[in-house]
Amino acid sequence: MNVLTSIFVLGFLIFFHEAGHFAAATFQGIKVNGFSIGFGPALLKKEFRGVTYSLRALPLGGFVSFPDDESDIPLDDPDLMRNRSIPQRAIVISAGVLANLLLAWLVLIGQATFVGLPGHPDPGVLVVAVQPSESADLSGLTAGDKIIGINGNKLGSGAEAVKSLVTQIQASPKKTIEFERLRDNDLQIIKITPSENSGNGKIGAQLQQNVSTILRPANSPKEIIEQSGSQFIDILKRTIKGYKGLFTDFNSTAKQMSGPVRIIEIGAQLSEQGNQGLFLFAALVSVNLAVLNALPLPLLDGGQLSLLLLEGIRGKPVPEKFQLAFMQSGFLLLVGLSIVLIIRDTTQLAFFNK
């Protein structure tokens, strides 16, 4: 059930992204002829008011299509996407990213309103996820563990505890560290030797504040807005920092990238925590979809905006041959990367479930 729930949430987030493009186009009177979730062969297809809605075999995203090249429509039709001004087209292209950011914020608002706000942080640092075959994984550290102390010193609680732990790990490449691990009320001492990455130590674990699972109702609408806004900004900053690593430290960041299988697995794990985990999963993935699509890469919204920017600088459209080559390379890159991630994640999932 948790897996099905996470699949449904992921599909809804993709739908909302494409709905942003669709709404921005239709509100401006731009003709749209297709709305699809997924790529490849259509599993379900329905035409309504000149728009073909479809669900396709490869759940790697979606697209909204425009009838710019249909022979029965005059080339100078003002309602074609290509005949609209650059600002109007930019609104359509960027609407998907903005829709996902808006949705993530609304999800966090909904969580604070209907589920509640977390109480004060408990002592220690929570392990959210562990990368396979990294130092943390090899030592037996798993998601859900709490790190209470390091080298005989207590960590305290909150953001300062996370900062202190990360600082000590980074300062100890190839040096064995003693962790006080709390698992199911059982306190143990485990030893971890951080690997070296650009001169800093790393253990391959995602860490966050050990926030109490006991939620409390918000005191006022103002607190809901403030807490949700703060959480949204924090998620956005961490996501941007993560994608920035693709350009500044590709080898390390690439190892942490997750495909659809891993994303669904994480969603299933978070949904086991109840509504709180499900809301968090939806917000995290929605922000990730927004930041990913904003990258200036072929086939992504950021790539489309880059072509639009070039058109504005040149004063005329980019040659169609260049656009076609740009988009085809993007499709091959996206599909190829997705296949690699799916195979890797599926293999790891099968291995670690033995």
Say if residue 230 is in the same domain as residue 109. Answer: yes
| 23 and 136 together in one domain | no
- pLDDT confidence of residue 102: 96
Determine the pLDDT at residue 259. Answer: 46
pLDDT for 53: 95
Query: What is the DSSP track for 165-214?
Result: HHHHHHT-TT--EEEEEEETTEEEEEEE-PEEETTEEE-SEEEEEEE-S-
> Strand, helix or coil at 131?
coil
Query: What local confidence, expressed as pLDDT, does residue 97 receive?
Result: 94
Q: Please determine, for residue 342, whether its predicted confidence score (pLDDT) is greater than 60.
A: no
Asked if residue 197 and residue 108 are part of one domain, the reply reads: no
Mean of per-residue pLDDT scores for the chain: 80
Active-site amino acid positions: 18
- Is the domain of 207 the same as that of 238? no
Kindly state whether residues 93 and 125 are assigned to the same domain.
no
Using the 3D structure, point to which of 211, 244, 279 is the last residue of a domain: 211
254 pLDDT band (50/70/90 cuts)?
very low
Among 139-143, 151-155, 256-260, 313-317, the least confident range: 256-260
**Which residues, at least 6 apart from 264, have a Cβ–Cβ distance to it below 8 Å?**
3, 6, 7, 10
Under the banding of pLDDT at 50, 70 and 90, the label for residue 90 is very high
In this structure, is residue 54 part of a structural domain? no
Judge whether residue 18 has pLDDT over 90.
Answer: yes
Count of the separate structural domains present in the chain = 2
pLDDT tens track for 25-61: 999 999 999 999 987 888 999 999 889 999 988 776 7
Residue-number span of the structural domain to which 171 is assigned: 120-211
Which of 218-232, 296-310, 313-327 shows the highest mean pLDDT?
A: 218-232
